[in-house]
A and B are shown apart, each in its own frame.
Chain A
Amino acid sequence: MNSNLYYNPSLRRNISDKVLTLLSGLFSLIAILPLILVIAYVIVNGASQINLSVLTQLPEPPGDDISAGGIGNAIIGTLIVTGIAALISIPIGVGGGIYLAEYSKPGVFTKFIRFGTNVLSGVPSIISGVCVYGVIVSTKIILGSNFSALAGGLALSILMLPTIIKTTDEGLKLVSNDLRKAALGLGASKYITITRVTLPSAITPIATGVVLAIARAAGETAPLIFTALFSFYWAQGTQALLEPIATLSVLIYNFALEPYKTQNELACAASFILVIVVLMMNLLTKLIGYYTNSNKS
């Protein structure tokens, strides 16, 4: 038997160790490659298209024109639809999270709600579109309008809900119980405790969850293609919310499938805006998390 205790790099176990380490490094490289390629593609093809007129004009209907117009109404539409979704899902989501973390008693019902939240976050986004189509669009239940910004916002809010509930719930659970007891001991009611003490100390994770949910909703397409549809006009007037509305993501989808080059280029420009906004929001949440962590320690 070999009694040499020095590291012997030619042993089979050491060679296979090296090989596997290299392999996992290679896998990591493959994993980040698409991100680099996609961002490079979007920047190279999208950023060169961006100018003031692209950002402010209306898109032209498909045709072999010199210019495909701009994405002005789609930018505003994305803001409107995402805004509606946020208005619906933030109060319900944060409220649900507060209920789960603060009021609910451990039991079958609470367990079921937590379980249901997780399962809901796994429901394919297109299903929420189909559902909203079935409830609102095909029945014309809201003032007789079928495809509308409101329906699109509702479909998106179904997607945002589980994320917001989960992060609120988990953020509140991280708040130390001493704080609650201290507040209750000073004679504060449960409501005052939650609004003045617990919520403010859990604001970072909640804000992170909300921003992530908004970022995800802004990029979603599947629930919008047959709820908010698309439009070549500005959203304006009092009826704007009840009419089909253009969004960046649906514009990318529609124009990418057009056979005309100008349309495809406009889709690239829209992708550039969308990717930049979504990535910025994600990096923002990372920064928030990083700074609050370093403050605490």
Chain B
Amino acid sequence: MVAFVLIGIGLVVFTGSIESMGRYGIKFLFTSDWNPVTDQYGAFTAIYGTLVTSITSITIALPLGVGTALFITEKILPKLVRETIGIMVELLAAIPSVVLGLWAMFIMEPFIRPFLSGLNNNFGWIPFFSSRPGGPGIAPAILILVVMILPIITSIARDSLNQVPSRLREAAYGVGATRWNAIFNVILPAAISGITGGVLLALGRAMGETMAVTMIIGNSNNFNFSLLSPGNTISSMLASQFGEADGSQVSSLMYAAFILMIITLIVNIIAQWMVLKLKLKY
């Protein structure tokens, strides 16, 4: 049943994209024109946006998430405080992404704009910061993605940290390790498979995340290296254009959706495999 649904989705998206695949082939991945008037389509801008937003946001969210997970699993504060933090992180995951997008549009983006301008003024020679921030762009999208994947990383890291047998921890303390000696040398290595799996799941989520990103990324198909300029991801492109598209644009969007699906499937399969294969063996 599930397998049927999964394969069915793949088939539908694939058949929808055949026309565009035949016309643009592999070139679709590497050209950045997206022009419905002349019927020229290339998804490079969106693919670049998807990769750069998801990877950057993972890089930011990983230390935050694992740090939070450590803070609530190691007995630093009383149980009540730790459980409250845990519940709050889980509730953050429950907030609909469209609401986060609304907040990002009206509160977060204006708030961080001065900081982004500062980046541009001081580090403008780095290609990533080479344009002036003006409203929506890739950088705010990365930040809102961090907010969205933080709970995933935190809760999976917390589960795998909780599974580390307490005798390992006690043994580490017994030979004189400080708390963070024990964490870095014993506990984290023991929980690493679960954490890696969680990170990959979060990566898949970040790539597919749609609403909040669509509302804040600016939906521009002009390619630009800079993180401060408006951009696009595959999913935001789908969300903003699919409703009004027709003809070969639909097919091209289907093609983009197919690419997104393949990427997230691969990431998810690797994640599942890691969690299964590298399970703790104690």
Taking a contact as CB atoms under 8 Å apart, the answer to whether B105 and A256 are in contact is: yes
Report which residue of A25, A128, A131 has the largest number of chain B beta carbons within 10 angstroms of its beta carbon: A131
Which residues of the partner chain A approach B215 to less than 8 Å between Cβ atoms?
Answer: 253, 256-257
Which residues of the partner chain B approach A122 to less than 8 Å between Cβ atoms?
Answer: 201, 204-205, 208, 264-265, 267-268, 271
Taking a contact as CB atoms under 8 Å apart, the answer to whether A124 and B85 are in contact is: no
Which residues of the partner chain A approach B257 to less than 8 Å between Cβ atoms?
Answer: 126-127, 130
Taking a contact as CB atoms under 8 Å apart, the answer to whether A119 and B269 are in contact is: yes
Taking a contact as CB atoms under 8 Å apart, the answer to whether B102 and A271 are in contact is: yes
CA distance A158 to B235 in the complex (A): 17
> How would residues 79 to 96 of chain A score, 1 for a CB under 8 Å from any chain B CB and 0 otherwise?
000000000000010001
Given contacts A92-B1, A279-B94, 16 further A-B contacts (CB under 8 A): A20-B180, A27-B67, A31-B89, A34-B100, A123-B264, A123-B268, A126-B257, A127-B9, A129-B242, A135-B12, A161-B5, A165-B2, A219-B94, A222-B97, A222-B235, A256-B105
| B92 touches A (CB below 8 Å) | yes
Assuming the contacts A124-B261, A222-B210, asked whether A113 and B243 have C-beta atoms less than 8 A apart, the reply is no
Q: Is chain B's binding surface mostly helix, strand, loop or mixed?
A: helix
> How would residues 10 to 45 of chain A score, 1 for a CB under 8 Å from any chain B CB and 0 otherwise?
000110110011011111101110111111011000
CA distance A57 to B142 in the complex (A): 37
Report which residue of A120, A133, A249 has the largest number of chain B beta carbons within 10 angstroms of its beta carbon: A133
Taking a contact as CB atoms under 8 Å apart, the answer to whether B98 and A264 are in contact is: no
* Other-chain residue from A37, A131, A135, A253 in contact with B211 (beta carbon distance below 8 A): A253
CA distance A113 to B96 in the complex (A): 28
CA distance A36 to B12 in the complex (A): 41
Taking a contact as CB atoms under 8 Å apart, the answer to whether B265 and A278 are in contact is: no
CA distance A224 to B195 in the complex (A): 32
Query: What is the chain B residue whose CB lies nearest that of A147?
Result: B243
Which residues of the partner chain A approach B15 to less than 8 Å between Cβ atoms?
Answer: 134
| A115 touches B (CB below 8 Å) | yes
| A125 touches B (CB below 8 Å) | yes
Taking a contact as CB atoms under 8 Å apart, the answer to whether B97 and A118 are in contact is: no
Which residues of the partner chain A approach B268 to less than 8 Å between Cβ atoms?
Answer: 118-119, 122-123
* Other-chain residue from B68, B97, B207, B253 in contact with A221 (beta carbon distance below 8 A): B97
CA distance A164 to B249 in the complex (A): 35
* Distance of B272 from chain A, by nearest CB (Å): 5
CA distance A174 to B282 in the complex (A): 22
Could you show 14 A-B contacts with beta carbons less than 8 Å apart?
A: A24-B71, A31-B89, A32-B85, A118-B268, A120-B2, A122-B268, A127-B13, A127-B257, A131-B8, A133-B242, A225-B242, A225-B243, A229-B243, A275-B95
Which residues of the partner chain B approach A31 to less than 8 Å between Cβ atoms?
Answer: 64-65, 68, 85, 89, 92, 150-151, 154
CA distance A220 to B100 in the complex (A): 12
| A116 touches B (CB below 8 Å) | yes
Query: What is the chain B residue whose CB lies nearest that of A13?
Result: B178
Taking a contact as CB atoms under 8 Å apart, the answer to whether A131 and B180 are in contact is: no
| A282 touches B (CB below 8 Å) | yes
| A215 touches B (CB below 8 Å) | yes
* Distance of A228 from chain B, by nearest CB (Å): 11
Which residues of the partner chain A approach B80 to less than 8 Å between Cβ atoms?
Answer: none
Assuming the contacts A14-B178, A38-B100, A279-B91, asked whether A123 and B107 have C-beta atoms less than 8 A apart, the reply is no
| B87 touches A (CB below 8 Å) | yes
